[in-house]
Chains A and B, each alone.
Chain A
Amino acid sequence: MKSFDGDEMTDKMPKMTRIERRELDVLVSYDGGSEFDITYDDLRYACPCAKCSPLRNADEGCETLRKQVEALPKEKPKVRIVGNYALGFEWTQGCSSGIFRFERIWDLANRRDPDNGKLYVHGAW
């Protein structure tokens, strides 16, 4: 259902040191010199907010979300630091609600499913 591939997260996340916003993607640098690119489309597709997340639960929703994301203009987002644990991306169009934990960005950088295969459930208590 999810359109991510890659291994299960087993490594320790290094400290994020730099975010470079490029034309179509963001280049994320970590302590130790490792660098990863994440396309803006992938970033938007992985939005963890309550509006976008449920769409990723089913194949149809995944396709819808992917199409919605790809139809948006390719723009550099504003990046804001949330506390000391996450980043927020602000776009002129589309959803800007999600707060991306550093772990989530690390998963995206490593081409892993940031939801770890878990379906999103409203009111899971």
Chain B
Amino acid sequence: MSDSPVTTHDPNADDKPAEASPQEQKKMEQAYAQMKRKISMEEIGKQIKHKVMVLSGKGGVGKSTVSTGLALSLAQQGLSVGILDIDITGPNIPKMMGLDGQRLHVESGRIHPAQGHLGVKVISMAFLLDSEDTPVVWRGPIKLGAIQQFIGDVEWGNLDYLIIDFPPGTSDEPLTVAQSLPDIDGMVIVTTPQEVALLDSRKSITFSESLKVPVLGVVENMSGYTISGKATPGSEIEIAAPAGKTLKATADDEGNFSVTLDIFKKGGGRLTAEEFGVPFLGALPFDPGFVRGGDDGVHRIVSDPEGPSAIAFAAIVSALQEQIVEDAGDGLEII
């Protein structure tokens, strides 16, 4: 081959294009798949009316419980709902939705979500693991690819709401989703009233600004534990509460009484919301039934649809819907 930068056409030369090497072919296939996925993600964005991200700054605040609760409560209203469990290293939504051990159905290269209680569609890394004890140890780029696949290659169908559950913290998962899925309505921040959780949830609120995703509101979980009981009608009951406090209640005419213990303080979620000028969606009581329900695969909303937790979730969902309802201005003219 000549060293000259100028090339000339040789009429006798074979004009067939040179065949791509296997490596080049692989790269082209990857680029094609990526492009197809991008188009698909945009299409999916149109099929899903509302997309809500659920985040928390700190782990263990009940974020997955809130995600499943929001999804089930919306589904209770007759809406078509899906949950995307983005917590790749610790996926537990399937267990909470009674889908433990299920496998995903793949047809014509498209992944079909599993369906849990009340017809809620679920996609989670847990479906792809051989055992729930198998850890997923992936670096960023692989995680990113998996998330994009979970968005672009899934046959969600038409959904009213997609609830996206994230691992705790401000890592790259929310960033990937925010960049991949168009028209995200916003994020819900889950916190408990304890100070460290509130500090971390403030980070999540600030994080939303860098993602350009609005905060739909803050949910305070484990907000108080209500003890109910029976006593002599009209009698006064004293209960030893944390921090040396004594709570008093008076039994009603039928002898019923109830007292709420603020185990992790109370009201911090509301104050954090006010501090950042974001809506406070509501508080969820501390309910041991959530733990049992999560382990048994029957969410509290399903097992006790009229109970205090289901009622609290309905109120939160109602507040959430107020934030994202299309014509919320109700006749307000802006010129």
Are the chains A and B members of one assembly?
Answer: yes
Q: Chain A: residues with CB nearer than 8 A to chain B?
A: 16-21, 48-50, 53, 79, 81-86, 97-99, 120, 122-125
| A3 nearest CB across to chain B (Å) | 20
A50 x B275 contact (CB < 8 A): yes
A120 CA / B328 CA spacing, docked (Å): 29
**Chain B neighbourhood of A125, CB < 8 A:** 193, 195, 198, 265, 267-268, 271
B329 at the interface (CB under 8 A from A): yes
Q: Tell me the complex Cα distance, A20–B328, Å.
A: 18
0/1 interface trace, chain B 313-332, chain A, CB 8 Å (1 if under): 00000000011110011111
Q: What's the minimum C-beta distance from A80 to chain B, rounded to whole angstroms?
A: 9
Please determine whether A84 and B322 come into contact, CB atoms closer than 8 angstroms: yes
| Interface contact A17-B333, CB-CB below 8 Å | yes
For A48, the chain B residues whose CB sits under 8 A away are 277
Q: A81-B328, A84-B330 are in contact. Are A97 and B277 (CB under 8 A)?
A: yes
CB proximity to A under 8 Å, residues B287-335: 322-325, 328-335
> How far does the alpha carbon of A92 sit from the alpha carbon of B183 in the complex, in Å?
21
Contacting pair A17 B277 (CB below 8 A): no
Which among A17, A20, A99, A120 has the highest number of chain B CB atoms within 10 Å? A99
Supply 15 further A-B pairs (C-beta < 8 A) apart from A17-B333, A125-B265: A17-B332, A18-B335, A48-B277, A49-B277, A82-B328, A83-B322, A83-B323, A97-B277, A98-B277, A120-B275, A123-B271, A124-B275, A125-B193, A125-B198, A125-B267
Q: Do residues B198 and A123 form an inter-chain contact, with CB atoms below 8 A? A: yes
The answer to whether A83 and B279 have CB atoms under 8 Å apart is: yes
Q: B276 interface residue, CB < 8 Å from A?
A: yes
Min Cβ gap A98→B in Å is 5
In the complex where A83-B328, A123-B195 touch, is A18 in contact with B277 (Cβ < 8 A)? no
* Chain A, Cβ-Cβ closest to B216: A83
Distance in angstroms from B264 CB to nearest chain A CB is: 10
User: Considering the chains assembled together, what is the distance between the CA atoms of A122 and B329 in angstroms?
Assistant: 31
Distance to closest chain A CB from B118 (angstroms): 25
Measured between beta carbons, the chain A residues less than 8 angstroms from B325 are 83-84
17 A-B pairs in the complex with CB atoms less than 8 angstroms apart: A16-B332, A17-B331, A17-B333, A18-B332, A18-B334, A18-B335, A19-B335, A21-B335, A48-B277, A53-B275, A82-B279, A83-B322, A83-B325, A97-B209, A124-B275, A125-B195, A125-B198
Does B278 lie at the interface of the complex (its beta carbon under 8 Å from any beta carbon of A)? yes
Could you tell me the distance between the alpha carbons of A57 and B276 in the complex, rounded to whole angstroms? 16
Q: Give the interface of B toward A (CB within 8 A).
A: 193, 195, 198-199, 209, 265, 267-268, 271, 275-279, 322-325, 328-335
- Tell me the minimal C-beta distance from B321 to chain A in angstroms: 9
Q: What total of A-B pairs shows CB separation below 8 Å?
A: 67
Chain B residues with Cβ under 8 A from A50's Cβ? 275-277
Residues of A within 8 A of B333 (CB): 17-19
- Minimum CB–CB distance from A105 to chain B (whole Å) comes to 11
**CA–CA, A121 to B329, complex, Å?**
31
From B198, B323, B334, A19 is in contact (CB under 8 Å) with: B334
Min CB–CB distance B190 → chain A (angstroms): 16
The one of A49, A83, A85 in contact with B276, judged by C-beta atoms closer than 8 angstroms, is A49
> Contact between A84 and B277 (Cβ–Cβ < 8 Å)?
no
Interchain CB contact under 8 A, B209 and A122: no
Q: If A18-B332, A123-B198, A125-B265 touch, does A99 touch B271 (CB 8 Å cutoff)?
A: no
A18 partner residues in chain B, CB cutoff 8 A: 332-335
- Residue from A53, A79, A84, A124 within 8 A of B334 (CB atoms): A79
Tell me whether B328 and A122 are in contact (CB under 8 A): no
CB neighbours of B335 from chain A (8 A): 18-21
Q: From B332, which residue of chain A is reached at the shortest CB distance?
A: A16
Q: Name the CB-closest residue of A to B322.
A: A83
The CA of A50 and the CA of B193, in the complex, are separated in Å by 19
A19 and B332 contacting across the interface, CB-CB below 8 Å: yes
Task: Please report the C-alpha to C-alpha distance between residue A20 and residue B271 in the assembled complex, in whole angstroms.
Answer: 32
Residues of chain A contacted by B329 (CB below 8 angstroms): 81, 84
Chain A residues in 8 Å Cβ range of B275 = 50, 53, 120, 122-124
CA–CA, A99 and B280, complex, Å: 12
**A49, B206: Cα distance in complex, Å:** 11
